[in-house]
């Protein structure tokens, strides 16, 4: 499982059995639609798994994360991840105060 940063600053999360080959495909414009429109890309983060199925599950998990949570993972700030799980919209954010 890997995370790329695209030329526009967006992140792309993917999984593969051959990282070097997949990175070359991305750089050559033969990767995902998201990356081919935002070249060049830079590899930011990698996790290795024994099973591609497990890597794919992790990919899908991370794809659902906020940008802030992805940045904490990439930056090695693992202690920050649980806090970044919290929903902070008006109905769930614990510090939200209704206007009178």
pLDDT at 94: 53
pLDDT at 22: 96
Domains of the chain: 2-64 (3.40.1440.10)
Question: Model confidence at 23, in pLDDT bands (50, 70, 90)?
Answer: very high
Neighbours of 59 (CB within 10 A): 19
Q: Residues 73-95: pLDDT tens digits?
A: 999 998 888 888 765 555 555 55
What is the pLDDT of the chain when averaged over all its residues? 88
Q: Which of 66, 63, 68 is nearest to 34 (CA)?
A: 63
Give this prediction's pTM.
Answer: 0.82
């Amino acid at each position: 499982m890997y995370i790329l940063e695209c030329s526009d600053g967006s992140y792309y999360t993917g999984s593969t059995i051959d990282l070097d080959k997949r990175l070359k495909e991305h750089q050559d414009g033969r990767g995902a639609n998201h990356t081919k429109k935002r070249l060049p890309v830079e590899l930011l983060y990698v996790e290795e798994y024994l099973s591609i199925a497990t890597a794919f599950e992790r990919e899908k998990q991370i794809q659902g994360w906020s940008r802030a949570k992805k940045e904490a993972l990439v930056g090695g700030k693992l202690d920050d991840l649980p806090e970044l799980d919290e929903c902070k919209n008006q109905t769930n954010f614990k510090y939200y105060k209704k206007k009178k």
